[in-house]
Amino acid sequence: MANRIRNERLEIKLTKEEKALFEEKRKLAKCRNMSRFIRKCVLEKEIYQVDLDPFRDLQGLLSNATNNINQIAKRVNQTGIIYKDDIQDMKKEIEHFSKELWQIHSLLMKRTSETEGE
């Protein structure tokens, strides 16, 4: 035992459900033992930290747009009239939202292609 390369020990505690899921994934990965599976998961996988602020910004933009749509719908239902300015404002909000969404999409695609090239 003293000559082993891997002489550091880890211990984890799992619920029965977590252990069943662990075993299922270990079998899918075709790892015969737990140690090899854990090493494979930990040492061979990239870990990414995702900045969710752009998504929160998008959520705010979407919330504003839906609130405005609801207000317009309420007014239209009460009066039977829809104003051209309301439609223009909604178009502007949707365009702004779409641009933000495409920027995030482009950034994610760029990062995905960069990591695939590594």
pTM as predicted? 0.48
Residue 101 has pLDDT above 80, yes or no: yes
Confidence band, pLDDT 50/70/90 cuts, at residue 116 = low
Confidence band, pLDDT 50/70/90 cuts, at residue 20 = very high
**Rounded to whole angstroms, how far apart are CA atoms 26 and 20?**
10
Longest dimension (CA), the chain: 85
Phi and psi, residue 7, nearest 5°: -115, 5
What is the residue-averaged pLDDT of the chain? 85
pLDDT score for 55: 83
Mean pLDDT to the nearest integer, 38-52 = 81
Residue 2 has pLDDT above 70, yes or no: no
